[in-house]
Structure 1
């Protein structure tokens, strides 16, 4: 096991699988594991990319489907952001958060958002409490005011929305109360 992958043995053959860095490997040495893989074939190379969940694999395949995004940058995106954080960043048009990915600049992040907006599954957000990801809520809405306040403090829109989402019953608080509670979730 390494920070960026593992060698997995199957029937006496070792497969070197690259995985998102910073994630805990789904098993230990000598244990049986299930890894969802994508085999990337080029003229001069065959590489295996592995993920703990099908959702990560699907997100990876969508990422590498964006022109200009190769498998290493796609893996880097999933090393920097979880699938959930990626969805929030795409939904809130937050290229600042996505461009924190090594190997992906602001232009690439904007292109990624543009191409993924229609392809990612946002069903989990539709079932949750309505939140302002696009800045369309009225100014008196405490969630929208708090999100704008966090953005003005230098946090990205997706960081602000994730912090607010962590606060239980966020819509019941005044903007001042919600801002204090959301700030504690960012620390």
Structure 2
């Protein structure tokens, strides 16, 4: 078994999908969390200057979705066929495109709040309707078993609901999917034990 070390902030953020994959697959790893105040000193030592990074026996992988995709393939959560894997990637990228439009680093709180309100009011409904239509009457987003696309939906929707409680109330199928993910024993255990953070 490789030695894994995940380095990320003491947040859920972009590191949480990776932690979900480790938790669900019962893979031991070092969850190295750094505080925001320490980041300016650490950043110059990180290739490309961004986290999360995952060290796999000393080899460093950067980019959260590349890390998650690697782990998903290693653990059978990437989709059962090449076509399913493409659909999983498409759903993850679609959700991530939306999450990436938020000005997470904006310092002006009024500007940030206005942008968040606009995205949650005007853009989110269309995305949620499309995801709802894609899910249809299926139990999981892609295929007959859980994939990391389902995990990514739960991770990202948890963040969205922090900013807009009730955001997915009009989409009971998406809400049910979220509940199914969180009811998986390994995921439920992780949620219960993980550090409590705002984001």
TM-score normalised by the chain length of structure 1:
0.25
Q: Which structure dedicates a bigger proportion of its chain to helix?
A: 2
Q: Which has the larger radius of gyration?
A: 1
